[in-house]
Structure 1
């Protein structure tokens, strides 16, 4: 993960974040048959208004390699988070930059942010049948399946709930 900087996205980053998020979801087959979800993914400014959009940047070049949206319960993009929990969504890494640690750096930054805010857990939802590499990442970071948080926003789109309990140290 050396050479990566995770920071809050700036408006100048929004076009790159929109492009790479849509590209990552398309490359993973997650936009097949979706009704307008690419538009939601591309609305980085909207996400930044009510959550924190974080980016992983290649330090030598300044290139945005990945992004994630960190939210708290009761905000428009929170789907699973309950009292005391934080959530992250739309974790995406540019397909050309995958394997460089940007996804893990972003997930770890969300966990650290939740600890900083005094949250008791971080929750996420992932598409059933997600890539094995993503599942290994979440397992390695201590996320466990929470079937009671599974849900389906559209027919044929099954999302699995994952949760990581937090301590003051993370």
Structure 2
């Protein structure tokens, strides 16, 4: 589904200055850009260790487990991405068929701070509601403070009893939102 984001300023609180944004499902032609963007943002941004780079770059693997969404800017350039989990489990996020989840939300560092992450998350929430899900669940790294602030502004609450450590030294915080 290709959706023009004429209402971008609504979702971004009036901050987005580029009206030509749209969210659609990623195609295999997008995978290299998503991989580069994700690895660069997470690793270079100090949000993940270099040992996690291979998983961050495995966009085709994510697309097999989730609906991979992209946010496109001018010239069809991918400026953001997120994996929306509506069925099954991907990364120990969901607990039941009533849950949806998100993984690996990323926005190009040059476009951060303009509400683009909020646009992607709002789309995930809308699609989850349309799919009949009752709760959105996600994990985020303890160092991802900007993401944590975004989730809290959207109404997510911490679920500390579900926090987990996939590998030593990587502590993931769990948030949820009843839809």
Q: Tell me the TM-score normalised to structure 2 length.
A: 0.84
Alignment counterpart, residue 68 of structure 2, candidates 53, 56, 59: 53
Give the equivalent residue in structure 2 for 1:24.
41
CA contact (8 A) 1:57 1:63 kept: yes
Distance 2:170 2:65 in 1: 25
> Conserved in 2, the CA contact under 8 Å of 1:72 and 1:78?
no
Partner of 1:10: 27
- Other-structure match for 1:107: 121
Give 2:173's aligned residue. Answer: 160
> Unaligned 5+ residue runs, structure 2?
1-7, 9-18
What pairs up with 1:1-170 in 2 under 5 angstroms?
A: 1=8, 2-32=19-49, 34-35=50-51, 37-58=52-73, 60-72=74-86, 74-75=88-89, 77-83=90-96, 84-131=98-145, 133-166=146-179
Question: In structure 1, how many angstroms separate the alpha carbons of the residues matched to 2:43 and 2:153?
Answer: 25
- For the 8 Å contact 2:86–2:131, the answer to whether it is kept is no
- 1:135 offset after TM fit, Å? 2.1
**What is the alpha-carbon distance in structure 2 between the residues aligned to residue 128 and residue 136 of structure 1?**
12
Shift in Å at residue 80 of structure 1?
A: 1.8
Residue 54 of structure 1: how far off its partner (Å): 0.3
User: Which runs of 5 or more residues in structure 1 are unaligned?
Assistant: none
State the TM-score, normalizing by the size of structure 1.
0.88
Q: Deviations over 1:11-37 (max 9, x none)?
A: 1111110000111102331233x53x2
